[in-house]
Amino acid sequence: MCISINLMYCRRWPILPNNRAFKVLVCLLLVGVSALASAADSTIANVVQASAAQPSAAQPVTAKESIIHPDQAFASAWQDLQTLSDDAMQGRKTATAGAELARVYLRQRFAELQLQGQPYDWPFQYGVGFSERRGINLVGYRQGCGRPDFYIIVTAHYDHLGGAGRRIMNGADDNASGVAGLLYLAALTEQRCPFYSIIFLATDAEEAGLYGAKAFVKTPPVPASQWVLNINLDMIGRGERRNKLVVAGTKKLPFLQGITERRHSNVRLVAAHDSKQLMRGQHTIDWPNASDHAPFRKAGIPYLYFGVDVHPHYHTPDDDWSRISPQFYQEALLWIADVFWWVQQIPAEQWRQGQASSR
Ligand SMILES: [Zn+2]
């Protein structure tokens, strides 16, 4: 009851008075209520173990009648993107009140989407220099209907950089866009049962060095031997002049050829970013290690990393949702959803064979 009431407040932030102090006050109240609610819940480890113990009846993917209209699903994603990149979140820097506000919102969205694994928190520690720091991943889970004993792990980092001087770095593209995309996929799986079980992992401390994804790979809720694929969403909101969304990770997986020709769209899906790239003769971007797919890649797990090229507002206080084209973002989500359902049809054995070559 409290959770659903809180969610209504949070999701209507964009229409609340544009007063940051008021929003923060509302959210701090939510933090307290959420902490109480969380304490009463079980951990995802229990949920995953319990569901893994169930007999895995091999059923075909069930395409239930979709209740969510595509436009409705997009409207939700757009609202998630705006809320997560609101000034009230203070740039979502790891271990700040702004990051906790983001988690309050995400826990409530996970619960609303009926993901298993409450209270979703997976704290971890990491070292920077001589100091020990703490981050918190959020992990939700949906059981599959075909091979529930195998898992696709969808990742998107919710942390960002906090502020620059007096200005807040809202990180709308980096990476409110990816987290809203993760919630979009979670919403789709509420209506249609995926073939594989899906772990929805919103990572923390990506900006500091992919620490959330590293922690997940190091101490996962289910053994890595049961993972078939990582789908990583990081900066999927800005196609810029070329209207281009990039997917990386296909080069060494021949059975994924044709992935970019599956849809006719004014947004082009381009297979690229599979190796280091020299940018305008200035600096090199190490795409295979640039985001949360890297720890999965190093563990030999096939990955698909959806993102866009670096743009002028990358890691600046100008990365705001007002600079994201809803038309581009909707098409990007449709592309990602199409690929998400398509990869469900690839047999687990084929993914396993692809493991060695995807490092
Ligand atoms: Zn970033």
Per-residue pLDDT in tens (0 to 9) along the chain, 359 residues: 222 333 333 444 444 444 544 554 454 455 444 444 443 333 444 434 433 333 333 343 344 444 567 688 999 999 999 999 999 999 999 999 999 999 999 999 999 999 999 999 999 999 988 899 999 999 999 999 999 999 999 999 999 999 988 999 999 999 999 999 999 999 999 999 999 999 999 999 999 999 999 999 999 999 999 999 999 999 999 999 899 999 999 998 889 989 999 999 999 999 999 888 777 666 788 889 999 999 999 999 999 999 998 888 999 999 999 999 999 999 999 999 999 999 999 999 898 887 655 55
**b or e along 317-352 (b: 16 or more beta carbons within 10 Å of the residue's beta carbon)?**
bebbbeebeeebbbbbbbbbbebbbebbebebeebe
Q: Distance from the CA of 192 to the center of ligand 1, in angstroms?
A: 32
**b or e along 129-150 (b: 16 or more beta carbons within 10 Å of the residue's beta carbon)?**
eeeeeebbbbbbbbbbbbbbbb
The label of the residue with tokens 């507002």 reads: 313
Residue 314, phi then psi, degrees to nearest 5: -60, 130
Q: Distance from the CA of 174 to the center of ligand 1, in angstroms?
A: 5
Handedness of CA 9, 14, 17, 22 (dihedral sign): positive
Q: Is 223 exposed, middle or buried (0-12, 13-18, 19+ CB in 10 A)?
A: exposed
| Angle at CA of residue 172, ends 37 and 246, nearest 5° | 115
pLDDT confidence of residue 222: 96
The span from the CA of 215 to the CA of 217, in Å, is 6
pLDDT confidence of residue 246: 96
pLDDT confidence of residue 357: 57
Q: Distance from the CA of 166 to the center of ligand 1, in angstroms?
A: 19
Tell me if 159 sits within 8 A of 137, measured CB to CB: no
pLDDT confidence of residue 281: 60
The span from the CA of 213 to the CA of 203, in Å, is 6
Tell me if 209 sits within 8 A of 159, measured CB to CB: no
Structure tokens at 91: 């740039």
Q: Distance from the CA of 84 to the center of ligand 1, in angstroms?
A: 15
Q: Distance from the CA of 355 to the center of ligand 1, in angstroms?
A: 27
The span from the CA of 245 to the CA of 265, in Å, is 11
Q: Distance from the CA of 191 to the center of ligand 1, in angstroms?
A: 32
* Rg (alpha carbons) of the chain, rounded to whole number: 19
Q: Distance from the CA of 314 to the center of ligand 1, in angstroms?
A: 7
pLDDT confidence of residue 23: 52
Q: Distance from the CA of 325 to the center of ligand 1, in angstroms?
A: 19
The span from the CA of 247 to the CA of 234, in Å, is 11
SS3 content of the chain, % helix, strand, coil (to 5): 45, 20, 35
Pairing of strands 244-248, 303-307: antiparallel
pLDDT confidence of residue 203: 98
Q: Distance from the CA of 167 to the center of ligand 1, in angstroms?
A: 16
pLDDT confidence of residue 276: 83
Among 333, 335, 329, 330, which residue's Cα sits nearest to residue 238? 329
Q: Distance from the CA of 175 to the center of ligand 1, in angstroms?
A: 7
Count Cβ atoms below 10 Å from residue 162 Cβ, excluding itself: 19
Q: Helices 177-191 and 70-84, interaxial angle, to 10°?
A: 150
The span from the CA of 10 to the CA of 301, in Å, is 36
Q: Distance from the CA of 27 to the center of ligand 1, in angstroms?
A: 24
